[in-house]
Amino acid sequence: MGEQQQVKFPQGVIDEYAALGVDLPALFSAGHLGTRMGVQILEASAERVVGTMPVEGNTQPYGLLHGGASAVLAETLGSVGSMLHGGSSKIAVGVDLNCTHHRGIRSGLVTGVATPVHRGRSTATYEIVITDEADKRVCTARLTCLLRDLRPGDGEQAAG
């Protein structure tokens, strides 16, 4: 669960960040919370971000996948897409997250796919669809991020 897979980034994005001396997999990881929850980002571009999360360890007292766990997966994937859309001079900050939980699930792995609804200069909105291993929809989420200019020290926070 703690083993990170290599995220697939478009070559242009890799080149842009490498020129700045930025380690993309570290910058666009699931972060400390996502790591504790077993979130794995498998594919990442401004057009599509895909990630998985185990149900085990992320359940509520009734044994079902916790709605907050779905929210963590959704916000992680939508934030990565927003950051990639904003580019290396911007930072994405979530300002609105909406989750609709469609069905309960007790085991297995869920997969989230984030696709853009709106990509502007100052905001980005992504729809995130989370499905179970039978490809049944578990949750639909929408995340809007503010894209603000990168400030000195922001990169140190993200990398640390």
Active-site residue flag, 75: yes
Residue 110: is its pLDDT beyond 80? yes
Mean pLDDT of 47-70: 97
Residue (of 127, 130, 129) closest to 142 by Cα position: 127
Give the C-alpha separation, 16 to 63, whole Å.
44
Give the C-alpha separation, 134 to 35, whole Å.
24
pLDDT score at 1:
37
Give the C-alpha separation, 144 to 107, whole Å.
29
pLDDT score at 28:
63
Residue (of 64, 8, 19, 71) closest to 41 by Cα position: 8
Which of 3, 43, 56, 75 is the catalytic position?
A: 75
Of 10 and 51, the one with more pLDDT: 51
Local confidence band at 75 (pLDDT 50, 70, 90 cut-offs): very high
Give the C-alpha separation, 51 to 4, whole Å.
12
pLDDT score at 19:
76
Q: Could you identify the residue written with the tokens 């963590």?
A: 72
Considering the chain, what percentage of its residues have pLDDT values greater than 70? 84
Local confidence band at 101 (pLDDT 50, 70, 90 cut-offs): very high
Residue (of 119, 121, 125) closest to 144 by Cα position: 125
Return mean pLDDT, the chain: 88
Local confidence band at 38 (pLDDT 50, 70, 90 cut-offs): very high
Residue 5: is its pLDDT beyond 50? yes
Give the C-alpha separation, 8 to 44, whole Å.
6
pLDDT score at 49:
96
Within the chain, residue ranges assigned H as helices are 11-19, 24-27, 31-37, 67-86, 154-159
Give the C-alpha separation, 82 to 144, whole Å.
8
pLDDT score at 32:
85
Local confidence band at 150 (pLDDT 50, 70, 90 cut-offs): confident
Q: Could you tell me if 54 and 1 are in contact, meaning their C-beta atoms sit under 8 angstroms apart?
A: yes
Local confidence band at 153 (pLDDT 50, 70, 90 cut-offs): low
